Amino acid sequence: MKGKVALITGSTDGLGKAVALKLANAGAHIIVHGRNRERGEALRKEIDALKGGGAMFYAADFSSMAAVRGFAEAVAKDHKQIHLLINNAGIGSTDPSGGRQRELSPDGYELRFAVNYLSTFLLTRQLLPVLVSSAPARIVNVASLAQRPVDFSNVMLERDYDGGRAYGQSKLAQILFTVDLSEELQGKGVTANALHPATYMDTAMVRSAGVAPRSTVDEGADAVVYVATSPQLDGKSGLFFNGKAEMRANAQAYDAEARKQLRELSVKLTKA
């Protein structure tokens, strides 16, 4: 990773922070993202002390599409090359206090769909020219085994809301987007893959849901770094991994019509 630039969203805590430190130790320049400026600057200083490729921190709230767009513009202005985009930022099925009520983003979208999926879609679309010009490059979407088909008649879950359903729908949407990207980017030197890093890692997201952790953050970070950097995956795209093992995602991910519907809806909602 020496001489490479890696952008990891949601990298001031938990899995994202662990991935950032592993890539920084391998020599990469890290673009750190998060909402908390204090944590972000602390991580930037920690990475700078490693004497690798250094780091820059950007604060942005990914519930807002305007904030995502502004973040993408700032990153593209400061970095002419990005070799690795890891879309890791996200929220779980509950709020930080464990609440399970339906929430809306500043744009009026169901919050989990906005933060976990629409921000990924918009950021990736905005940075695609930089990634293509930096080829070979990789896009890694941190998804989940918790996958629920997107109901296009009720995407914002105005009916029958359930936090687990909202989370699962947003994570499967990421995988549909991954497969779509892999087809779009054929021959351009940029691959797109998705993964479930580990089950119930010891993170704030898992603890706020009242779930006992089953995996370590380090285990999940190792899986993300594998998909992001392994030479065995050179040129391989459109795949879904459970940890480091390739597997099939929910059938909707391979439905061309569903992917088309999601693509058109995403462009409309994000104005990408």
Q: Which DSSP letter does residue 109 get?
A: S
Query: Is 167 within 8 Å of 108 (Cβ atoms)?
Result: no
CA 224 to chain centre: 11
Candidates 185, 162, 142; CA nearest to 16 is: 142
- E strand map for the chain: 5-8, 29-34, 55-59, 84-87, 137-142, 190-196, 240-242, 245-247
Q: Is 245 helix (H, G, I), strand (E, B) or coil?
A: strand
The CA distance from 89 to 160, in Å, is: 26
**Torsion angle defined by CA atoms of residues 3, 137, 247 and 22, in that order, rounded to the nearest 10 degrees:** 20
Query: Is 88 within 8 Å of 10 (Cβ atoms)?
Result: yes
Is 167 designated active site? yes
Token digits of residue 123: 């950021």
Query: Is 195 within 8 Å of 8 (Cβ atoms)?
Result: no
Token digits of residue 119: 């921000």
Catalytic residue among 58, 161, 167, 226: 167
The residues, ordered by sequence, that sit 6+ positions from 219 with a Cβ below 8 Å of its Cβ are 197, 198, 201, 243
Annotated active-site positions, please?
167
